[in-house]
């Protein structure tokens, strides 16, 4: 059996990874996910393999077997990601998302501007699965409205980010949600349902804060809202009939149909709606003026697999309804493959075991386990500068620990999201923090105190763990840690 490396050796690949990621972020900024981060992961993997083979004589076939096994575990996840791209494109082109935006923006009023902004961003992000797109489009428009209403840009940015990350976290279309569930071996919809125990109370508290904070806002113009509603009604056939697709999708989810099947069937239903209600959009996608059967099928196929750009007469709205289809998921797929290879190398070399052993020395009960997971997720967000990598590494470090302690994988997946996903935007040098501060034109440390959802989520995760609400443990209460601590001791 492979010898467990000393912790000082085991940490070397992680330090190398952090170094390369820091260099990548400094060179590429928000484009780091387009290839730079993947190279950093492979370099970290290379260091791990070289150290293990040279110092501990671990044979190459050990790494090869682990990589094959690890990639096999995420194969369904990669299919889900492709279906997510397919679904995201079809839901927009069919008019489902535009209809919800159309009615959503009209609920705003000056006194309830902050809470309305938070809820609207939550809805859009929930449907699109992307906090980045939500913030870069409707978030920018809401920030402009906030200026007109005399609302502090820090408060407005906090409301926008809080809502966008709630929707991103709870959406089955979100790549971070899919990644957290797959990296921990948890069913996607089981993961989402379990997150509700921490996420819904946190969002409710956030809503109350913004509700009271915005009560004193005066009246102002709502020109941006008018621009959105006019652009959407001019471009799409806005119809409540489109909402049958989300309704049927919700029924499938409630009946616990496998996520891959749900996403695929929902995409097909949205495609049918697009053929019936938005044939002119499909023609615009293909560039043809004649609405023939061939043209409509081509337009729908492009919607599923490729990028689309529809002209609404509004630049910000054009960005919001642009889609990338399955092709838009390829960077995420690429990142997952490289991250899983790095994780497989750390597992095969038992370096993960060494790092876990150090962590276990501080774990005494359920609260300390969850707290250390939260702390690790935040620490990795700070050190690696990327939420995807933080999610994968946190899952890799704690997956076996939760199993040995008798806790369900969904507790780990939820805790990982409560820490890694939502705090990434609060760190200036993280890809999320850099992107959102640039898009909104508000420095990270300026909006940070007002991102209540992001700040409260890790604390709520620890609080729920302390209460023990809906947390089951299969092992008896005994000295479970003693054997593990002894096993991980190094000479």
Q: What is the pLDDT of residue 304?
A: 93
- The string of DSSP letters for 181-227 reads HHHTT--HHHHHHHHHHHHHHHHHHHHHHHHHHTTT------HHHHH
Q: Which residues pair with 407 in a beta bridge?
A: 473
CB 47 within 8 A of CB 12: yes
Distance between CA atoms of residues 425 and 436, nearest Å:
7
Q: What is the pLDDT of residue 404?
A: 82
Q: Per the structure block, which two tokens stand in for 316?
A: 């910000």
CB 452 within 8 A of CB 209: yes
pLDDT tens digits, the chain, 491 residues: what are they? 678 889 899 889 989 988 888 888 788 876 776 788 889 889 989 999 999 999 989 999 999 998 888 788 778 778 887 888 888 889 889 998 888 778 766 766 767 889 989 998 998 888 777 787 788 767 877 887 777 667 888 999 999 999 999 998 998 888 889 889 988 888 888 999 999 999 999 999 999 999 988 776 654 444 556 777 888 888 899 988 998 998 888 788 767 677 788 889 989 999 999 999 999 999 989 888 777 888 999 999 999 999 888 888 877 778 778 888 888 878 778 877 887 788 888 888 988 778 777 877 777 789 999 999 998 888 888 766 678 878 988 888 888 888 888 898 999 999 999 999 999 999 877 778 877 887 788 888 899 999 999 999 999 999 999 998 888 877 544 444 444 444 444 43
Query: Backbone dihedral region of 313: left (phi > 0), alpha (psi from -120 to 50 degrees) or beta?
Result: left
Considering the entire predicted model, what is its pTM?
A: 0.70
Q: What is the pLDDT of residue 488?
A: 41
Q: What is the pLDDT of residue 437?
A: 83
3-state helix, strand and coil shares in percent for the chain, rounded to the nearest 5: 80, 0, 20
Residue 176's φ and ψ, nearest 5 degrees, are -70, -35
CB 173 within 8 A of CB 84: yes
Question: DSSP state, 306?
Answer: S
Q: What is the pLDDT of residue 483?
A: 45
Q: Which residues pair with 308 in a beta bridge?
A: 323
CB 66 within 8 A of CB 45: no
Q: Per the structure block, which two tokens stand in for 373?
A: 């997971």
Residue 303, CA atoms < 13 Å, CB-side half-sphere: 32
């Amino acid at each position: 059996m492979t010898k467990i490396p000393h912790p000082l050796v085991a940490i070397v690949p992680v330090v190398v990874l952090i170094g390369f990621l820091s260099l990548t972020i400094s060179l590429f900024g928000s484009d780091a996910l387009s290839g730079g981060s993947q190279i950093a992961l492979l370099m970290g993997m290379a260091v791990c393999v070289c150290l293990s083979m040279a110092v501990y004589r671990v044979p190459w076939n050990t790494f090869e077997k682990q990589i094959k096994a690890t990639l096999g575990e995420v194969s369904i996840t990669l299919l889900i990601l492709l279906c997510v791209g397919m679904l995201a494109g079809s839901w927009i082109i069919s008019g489902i998302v535009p209809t919800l935006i159309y009615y959503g923006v009209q609920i705003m009023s000056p006194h309830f501007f902050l809470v309305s902004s938070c809820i609207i961003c939550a809805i859009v992000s929930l449907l699109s699965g992307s906090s980045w797109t939500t913030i870069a489009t409707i978030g920018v428009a809401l920030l402009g409205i906030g200026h007109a209403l005399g609302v502090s840009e820090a408060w407005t940015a906090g409301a926008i980010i809080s809502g966008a990350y709630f929707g991103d976290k709870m959406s089955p279309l979100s790549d971070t949600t899919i990644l957290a569930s797959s990296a921990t071996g948890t069913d996607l919809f089981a993961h989402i349902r379990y997150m509700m125990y921490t996420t819904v109370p946190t969002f409710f508290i956030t809503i109350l804060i913004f509700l009271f904070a915005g009560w004193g806002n005066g009246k102002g113009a709502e020109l941006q809202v008018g621009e959105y509603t006019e652009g959407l009604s001019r471009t799409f056939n806005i119809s409540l009939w489109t909402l049958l697709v989300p309704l049927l999708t919700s029924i499938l989810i409630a009946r616990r149909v496998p996520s891959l099947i749900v996403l695929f069937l929902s995409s097909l239903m949205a495609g049918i709606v697009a053929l019936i209600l938005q044939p002119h959009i499909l023609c615009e996608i293909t560039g043809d003026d004649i609405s023939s059967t061939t043209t409509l099928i081509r337009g729908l196929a492009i919607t599923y697999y490729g990028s689309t750009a529809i002209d609404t007469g509004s630049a910000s709205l054009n960005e919001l309804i642009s889609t990338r289809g399955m092709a838009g998921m390829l960077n995420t797929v690429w990142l997952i493959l490289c991250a899983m290879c790095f994780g497989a190398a750390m597992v095969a070399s038992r370096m993960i075991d060494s790092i876990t052993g150090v962590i276990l020395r501080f774990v005494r009960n359920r609260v300390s386990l969850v707290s250390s997971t939260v702390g690790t997720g935040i620490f990795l967000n700070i050190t690696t500068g990327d939420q995807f990598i933080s999610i994968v590494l946190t899952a890799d470090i704690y997956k076996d620990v939760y199993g040995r302690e008798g806790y369900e994988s969904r507790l780990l997946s939820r805790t990982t999201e409560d820490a890694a996903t939502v705090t990434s935007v609060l760190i200036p040098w993280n890809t999320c923090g850099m992107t959102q501060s640039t898009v909104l034109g508000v420095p990270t440390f300026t909006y940070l105190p007002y991102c209540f959802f992001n700040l409260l989520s890790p604390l709520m995760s620890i609080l729920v763990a302390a209460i023990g609400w809906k947390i089951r443990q299969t092992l008896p209460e005994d000295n479970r840690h003693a054997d593990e601590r002894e096993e991980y001791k190094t000479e």
